[in-house]
Chains A and B, each alone.
Chain A
Amino acid sequence: MQTVAVPSRVLSSQTHVTALTGPELTRPKLETDRLSVFYGDHQAVSDVCLTFKKNTVTALIGPSGCGKSTFLRALNRMNDSIEGCRMAGEIRYDGIELQSRQVNVLEVRKQIGMVFQRPVPFAKSIYKNVAYGPIRHGVKKKKELDRIVEDSLRKAALWDEVKDFLHQSALRLSGGQQQRLCIARALAMQPDVLLLDEPASALDPVSTAKIEELIGQLKKEITIIIVTHNMQQARRISDETAYFYMGRMVEHGPTEQIFSNPRSEQTRQYISGQIG
């Protein structure tokens, strides 16, 4: 164990933090240590230890109600807002314990972005939807905002479709476009990690393909964790896969290995469609 200075924006003040892992290079971007999540008396996630490497896509799979979405929402502390929700264990982001009281949860969410199952555009223009986050976090110059909006929309593969009517309502876009707008909105915050909660489950195949392609592009810059019900999708886009069942993480490994040669019998059954 060594003490290092971590000049991270996540902390409210610059503090010395005890980093539990080794040098910067091998340290995972994000890891959980015996993370449990409770809703009142019900335990939704039990003792999950997982590591997420930088610039990789990790897919979380498992049957409905297995706790994968709850686990995902724990990572940027979205569960804080649910009454009666309690967490135990640790989440470390760049070695920083996210549930520590020194941590500013608003900064955490700024760096660990999230996109939801259904597209949730704000009732504002396309431009404002993307620019809103940066404006709130202090970007004032029009030029700078224009650049961020264009950049984010390009990264989300939406720019060419909307560049001529940026100032029209976002509610007029199609579902697939709205979801890519939500991804652009998350990217405008320049997050380090992006959490995707079944981002394509409400979309048609063409839009789904676009979003999958997008994920492949994005992982060059950021770390992605995606919850999906679609096994083919997990196989196509992820580098690593974790299988959840009844609130526990059953197996975690390289995607190819999980799908071709799972260690656990349960995982094999789920992947071959015997558990649904």
Chain B
Amino acid sequence: MMSAKQADRLATAGLYAVAGVILALLAGLLGYVFVKGFPMLSWQFITSPPQIFKGGGGVGPQLFNSFYLLVLTLVFSLPVALGAGIYLAEYAKDNWLTRSIRISVEVLSSLPSIVVGLFGFLFFVIYMGWGFSIISGALALSVFNLPLLVRVVEQSIQSVPRTQREAGWALGFSKWETITNIVLPAALPGLITGIILAAGRVFGEAAALIYTAGMSTPALDFTDWNPLSPVSPLNPFRPAETMAVHIWKINGEGIMPDASAISDGAAALLILSILLFNLSARFVGRFVFKKMSAS
């Protein structure tokens, strides 16, 4: 028999060991990607377009595409997620309708992304006739992203104490005014964290994009910002290969001589971008909250 003290020590050691293994795994993985990829990173690499047959190409358009798709995806999914999350948290009564909404959200969130991609291919690319395009990709990613966002919105709104709402009502605010003026601002830190999480997932997603946004990028003219022009980077109806898709593609069928080095560099750049995005979003969130709570 072990004494309680021994058991306690054993459990503590076990937990430390598990935490250590996870940390080592993460550090090893990141370290490997960075060590292999960092030498590739240069201004030329992150701005110039890829080469098909020669070495020395970059990933400029892919980097741009990743960010553009992310922004468009959030533009499509955030309003819907906010609406659904607010409804579920503030208005929904417990009945068959809300139960079925919740179940749908859960089922959607467990859908494999390749399935979402194939759905996007059939519906947006073929049926709607948008072809392999940013808009098809962004909509497919919105489908993929919505469940997570809805839950995040619902949970961060629910975490605002009821007393805050009552204080609003006691001032003669209507329910809607209380939500928009008091509950949402108070929920903002949670909302921002959730949006960052969702954005990171979108940024790294490849499977859902292969069949929707496509695996190629036309020659782009980065001086043409008219979204209707076919060579404009902003044109939502052009195909757009993202960083993650590019990594997948050159590992499979890249015929440039420096394919594996480019893939390493792109991987490091992808991780770096996600890191930067997270940090800056956190910073912006804290800044906005501070601004709002003191002005």
A141 → B minimal CB distance (Å): 18
Which stretch in A45-53, A151-159, A182-190, A229-237 binds the other chain? Answer: A182-190
Residues of A within 8 A of B181 (CB): 132, 136
Kindly state the separation between the CA atoms of A183 and B163 in the bound complex, as whole angstroms. 15
The 8 Å CB contact of B172, one of A83, A110, A171, is A110
C-beta contact mask, A110-125 vs B, less than 8 Å → 1, else 0?
1001111010101111
Q: Looking across the interface, which residue of chain A has its beta carbon closest to that of B161?
A: A120
Interface window among B252-260, B274-282, B286-294? B286-294
The reply on B76 being an interface residue by CB < 8 A is no
B5 to chain A, nearest CB (A): 40
Bits for A128-170, please: 1 = Cβ < 8 Å to B, else 0: 1000110011000000000000000000000000000001111
User: Which of A120, A169, A170: most chain B CB closer than 10 A?
Assistant: A120
In the complex, the answer to whether A171 meets B169 with C-beta atoms within 8 Å is: no
Digitize A49-78: 1 where CB-to-B-CB distance is under 8 Å, 0 elsewhere.
Answer: 000000000000000000000000000101
Whether A122 lies near B167 (C-beta < 8 A) is: yes
Kindly state the separation between the CA atoms of A110 and B169 in the bound complex, as whole angstroms: 9
Known contacts being A123-B185, A133-B172, A136-B172, is A116 close to B295, with CB within 8 Å?
A: no
Q: Are A185 and B171 in contact (CB-based, < 8 A)? A: yes
A133 to B172, CA, bound (A): 8
Closest to A111 in B: B172
Interface membership of B67, Cβ < 8 A? no
Our pick among B170, B177, B292, B295 for the contact of A78 (Cβ within 8 Å) is B170
| Chain B positions within 8 Å of A116 at CB level | 163, 166-167, 170
**B182 close to A (CB within 8 Å):** yes
* Given known contacts A123-B186, A132-B181, A136-B177, A109 and B294 CB-to-CB distance under 8 angstroms: no
Q: Which of B93, B171, B290, B293 has the most CB of A within 10 A?
A: B171
Inter-chain CA distance A43–B158, complex, in Å, is 28
Of residues 165 to 204 in B, which have CB atoms within 8 Å of A's CB atoms? 165-167, 169-174, 177, 181-182, 185-186
Chain B residues within an 8 Å CB radius of A110: 171-172
With contacts A120-B163, A122-B164, A136-B181 taken as known, whether A109 is within 8 angstroms of B292 at the C-beta atoms is no
A107 at interface by CB-CB < 8 Å? yes
- A81 CB within 8 Å of chain B: yes
CA distance A109 to B186 in the complex (A): 22
A123 to B185 Cα, complex, angstroms = 8
What's the Cα separation between A137 and B181 when bound, in Å? 13
Q: Are A106 and B186 in contact (CB under 8 A)?
A: no
Q: Which residues of B contact A125 (CB under 8 A)?
A: 293-295
Closest Cβ of chain B: how far from A185's Cβ, in Å? Answer: 7
Q: State A123–B292 Cα separation when bound (angstroms).
A: 8
Check B293–A124 contact: CB distance below 8 A. yes
The residue of chain A having its C-beta at the shortest distance from the C-beta of B93 within the complex is A83
Evaluate contact between B185 and A78: CB separation under 8 angstroms.
no
Q: How far is the CA of A191 from the CA of B152 in the complex (A)?
A: 38
Contact status of A114 and B170, CB under 8 A, knowing A120-B164, A124-B185: yes
Is B167 a contact partner of A107 (Cβ separation < 8 A)? no
Q: A120-B163, A120-B166, A122-B182 are known contacts. Are A171 and B293 too (CB-CB below 8 A)?
A: yes
Known: A120-B167, A122-B182, A136-B181. A169 touches B293 (CB 8 A): yes
A133: chain B residues within 8 A (beta carbon): 171-173
B167–A137 CB distance below 8 A: no
Which residues of chain A are near B174, meaning CB under 8 Å? Answer: 106
Kindly identify, within residues 164 to 211 of chain A, every residue whose CB is under 8 Å from any CB belonging to chain B. 167-171, 182, 185-186, 189
How far is A167 from B166 in the complex, measured between Cα atoms in Å?
A: 24
20 pairs from A and B in contact (CB 8 Å cutoff): A78-B170, A109-B171, A113-B170, A113-B171, A114-B170, A116-B163, A120-B163, A120-B164, A122-B164, A123-B186, A123-B292, A124-B293, A124-B294, A133-B171, A133-B173, A136-B172, A137-B172, A167-B295, A170-B293, A186-B171
Leading 9 A-B pairs by shortest Cβ distance: A110-B172, A114-B170, A120-B167, A169-B293, A133-B171, A109-B172, A106-B172, A169-B294, A120-B163
Q: Apart from A81-B166, A116-B166, what 16 extra A-B contacts exist at CB < 8 Å?
A: A78-B166, A106-B172, A109-B169, A122-B186, A124-B292, A124-B294, A132-B171, A133-B171, A133-B172, A133-B173, A136-B177, A136-B181, A137-B172, A169-B293, A171-B293, A189-B172
- B residues near A, CB below 8 A? 93, 161, 163-167, 169-174, 177, 181-182, 185-186, 289-290, 292-295
